[in-house]
A and B are shown apart, each in its own frame.
Chain A
Amino acid sequence: MTKSELIARLAAANPHLYHRDVERIVTTVFEEITAALARRDRVELRGFGAFSVKERGARQGRNPRTGESVDVTSKYVPYFKTGKQLRERLNVPE
């Protein structure tokens, strides 16, 4: 499912809304999560999961082509932990 399919499914389930509004809803939600993570805030969606930002420390890397060692500065990476309810849902016996 892509973002446009997600919009299409949400629109189909909510026929009283304009397609363009459903599009804005989806964009707004992901933009809000992105903005929170950019502030290094945590986004906790009970039952679904939680997004957070983890720091990766500086390290000594190596240029794979030349074998030369380079300094890699620390950086932040987004991390998602699946919520309990969703985790259980993925594992219900069919």
Chain B
Amino acid sequence: MKKTAFYNIHKKLGAKLVDFAGFDMPIQYSSIIAEHKAVRTSVGIFDVSHMGEVFISGNKALEFVQHITVNDASTLSPGRVQYSAMCYPDGGIVDDLLVYKLSDDEFMLVVNASNIDKDYKWMIENNKLDVKIDNQSSDYSLIAVQGPNSHKVVQKVVNDNIDLEYYHFKKEKIAGTDVILSRTGYTGEIGYEIYFKGNEFEAEKIWTEIFEAGKEFNIQPAGLAARDSLRLEMGFCLYGNDIDKTTNTIEAGLGWITKLKKGNFIGREALQKFKDDGVIRKLVGMISDEKIFPRKDYPVYVSGKGVGSVTSGTVSPILEKPIALGYVEKEYSNHDTEISFLIRGKEISAKVVKLPFIKK
């Protein structure tokens, strides 16, 4: 199993480690709910070094990124980040990703850990423009510092002013190491993602410096379980659950990143057709007042008949209610539509609601 540069820190903190995409990752430290609430109310620190970083460079780098992703990377200037996706010709999703414009001829694509090899192969196969594609996933570490106090914490460890706007980044130094400091995250809170190339020694120095800076805010290490419940409260998609090669960006509610007018790209024709003809199902948020919780693959019913299924479900630690994402037939996808989850043979009332579940 692969270990991140923070493995010994997790061990020391008593984390429960599980295999996630081939990495020994902390799923929780103390309590998922406590970690979740720490991020919502103050600040939490996550090791997400399992994420992949692929660098695209060359004078046709932008053209290549435009060809393989659905969003319009031509709108980016250096220092800007964009949420995007790569699709297959049939519109199915290869992966969702972040596109960092490092310079006019260099981009960093941040992809899901479970998809690194697949994505890299996909990029190589579709490299008709002869750009340089450099998978540096194993060399890069990534920490996320998230929560309303994250700005104060990160400012304490960086010399320059870090007043970055959402989805902007800049190069900085933390504990003597060069980092990419990015105002992004997967929690819905103000937060930073910090990328750096370094070994365990540098990684531990950075973690420790942030952790010490966060002590006055009672910073908590947070695991992948809290990361999952945090993103689900915001209605953010998780690849492998809510999106995959069998779902397209239009039905997944990612029409806003699908820029059909930007010029040709892989999947454009199919996605245009989904947009023109309309999709048959849609990804929606669902909530219930019952004390029984929907999980992945549970059926969604309306008047005794199956109309879809849950793709992610949990208890919202903030609302203390069952929440879920799932696909339902389009006619049942409007807000306030009464639906039910079929849970162990029982129909549990719920309704379709507007995302996010938590208003920020």
Partners in one complex: no
